[in-house]
Amino acid sequence: MASMAQAIRMALRYGETNMDVTDIFGEDVGPPLGGAFTVTQGLSNSWNCPLDERGIVGMATGIGLAGKRCVAEVQFCDYIFNTIDLLKLAGNACWSSNGEFNMPIVVMTPVGSGIHGSLYHSHSFDAWASRIPGWKVVMPSTPLDAYGLMLSAIEDPNPVMYCIPKALMRARGEEKIPGEPDSDKELKAMIDQPVDAAALKAWKPKWPKLEKYMVPIGKAKHVQEGSHATVVSYGRQMPLIEEIARRLKAEQGIEFDVFDLRTIYPYDWNAIKTSVEKTGRVIFVNEDTEISNFGEHLLRRTCDELFYSLKVRPRMLAGKQLPGIGISPVLEDVSVPQANHIEKEMIELATEQA
């Protein structure tokens, strides 16, 4: 199965050949590197730009104003913060011009911890992004969703922030990308560029016959059906939650209703509402810092609209309110939710006396 990096690469290939994506650009996005995480290797419309995040977002916005479609990359979301006013401008172009201009752009950026990236390669951006109206914000947790969300992001006439959980960049899914060859080895030989400089010179990708596959923006994935408690998350924590939920069901008979939100904005409130009305128990999990966390918004709306459906207090598990993530595994593990933290919270949620 393809890794998430390969899946996004194939989606971008589909975008440049079938969806009029004219520019895929950012720092080290073009040859010879093809992206810090190999996401943009071998693409025809990829190019390198100056080391200037404000320039990247400005360039993308201008391309969007001209009605063209592009995917811009900010190499790590840790470096996107000095572009926030530009992101706001992109998000309000349609509203401020009374509908005169659309902004059909995609900005993709790796987010979160998990690669021992220390202070400036571990930030999250989901809560920040959710506070920039006009944008749609997505974050896949599987390669297939990464493929389908990228195609939807490209097609959308509005600006889409495409957050990639960098800890899952090399993770492989259980579902094939439409058009993907049968073996991982074969796919690697086709689309992963060689590391050796001489071999790279002569290298050309052999793209599989890719197909259109869309994951609609705004629709959560119902990962596991259950009636005892609801778990809502996205990104890096999803595989952990899935594994825990599967195990607790098999070993203890606790059945969790698990949702991968996939879109942070506009989020799938109907999915959350239906589930919480069924279970009366809910936890929101993500790794962004806990103060003014996006999960806090979901908690607030749960209290406002679903209060009388709740059997026990609703919960949120998020990253600690810290200035950064320490490079030591000890420090990183206690800063963002790990499997053992999540499991403990899930069990408490499901077993608390109503």
Partner 1 sequence: MEKALARAGKVPVKAKSKAPNAKAVRLTKVARLNNSNAQRKSMASKKLTNEKLREIHSTMVESRVLEERLIRMNKAGEGYFWIGGPGEEAFAVPLGMLMRKGEGIQYDYLHSHYRGSPTVLALGGQSIDAIRQMRAVATDPYSGGRNFVNHYAIKKWNIVPVFSVIEAQYLQSIGTAHVQREKGCKGITIVTGGDAGTAEGDFASALVWSSRPAGTLPLLMIVTNNKFGISTPWEGQHGEKNVADRGKAFGIRTNIINGNDVWESWEALEEAMEYVRTERKPFLLEARVSRLYGHSSASGAPRWNEEDCLEVFEQKLIKAKVMTEKEIKAVHEKMTTKITEAYKQVQQEAFPTPESIYDHVWAEENGDKGRDSFAAEIGIDFAKNPPPPAHH
Contacts with partner 1 by CB under 8 A lie at 22-23, 47-50, 52, 54-55, 57-68, 85-86, 89, 93-104, 133-134, 157-158, 217-218, 265-267, 269-270
**Structure tokens, 229:** 């408690």
Residue 353 CB neighbour total at 10 angstroms: 5
* CB closer to partner 1, 86 vs 336: 86
* CB closer to partner 1, 134 vs 239: 134
- d(CA 91, CA 301) in angstroms, rounded, equals 24
* CB closer to partner 1, 7 vs 70: 70
CB burial of residue 193 (10 Å; 0-12, 13-18, 19+) = middle
CB of 213 to partner 1, least distance (A): 20
Indicate the DSSP class of residue 178: T
* CB closer to partner 1, 86 vs 245: 86
* CB closer to partner 1, 100 vs 174: 100
* CB closer to partner 1, 105 vs 150: 105
CB of 76 to partner 1, least distance (A): 19
Give the C-alpha distances (Å, rounded to integers) separating 347 from 105, 192, 237, 249, 281.
41, 42, 16, 11, 11
The full 3-state SS of 75-133, as one line of letters, equals CCHHHCHHHHHHHHHHHHHHHHCCCCCCCCEEEEEEECCCCCCCCCCCCCCHHHHHCCC
- d(CA 112, CA 118) in angstroms, rounded, equals 11
CB of 90 to partner 1, least distance (A): 9
Calculated CA dihedral for residues 77, 82, 87, 92, nearest 10 degrees: 150
Can you tell me which residue has the tokens 């977002």?
57
- d(CA 115, CA 169) in angstroms, rounded, equals 10
CB of 201 to partner 1, least distance (A): 19
* CB closer to partner 1, 59 vs 191: 59
- d(CA 78, CA 53) in angstroms, rounded, equals 11
Return the closest-CA partner of residue 209 out of 247, 181, 239.
Answer: 181
* CB closer to partner 1, 87 vs 342: 87
Return the closest-CA partner of residue 215 out of 110, 145, 309, 123.
Answer: 145
CB of 207 to partner 1, least distance (A): 25
CB of 93 to partner 1, least distance (A): 5
CB of 1 to partner 1, least distance (A): 31
CB of 190 to partner 1, least distance (A): 28
Burial string for 35-49 (b: 16+ CB within 10 Å, else e) reads bbbbbbbbbebbebb
Return the closest-CA partner of residue 123 out of 112, 132, 110.
Answer: 112
CB of 21 to partner 1, least distance (A): 13
* CB closer to partner 1, 92 vs 338: 92
Give the C-alpha distances (Å, rounded to integers) separating 115 from 3, 168, 308.
16, 10, 41
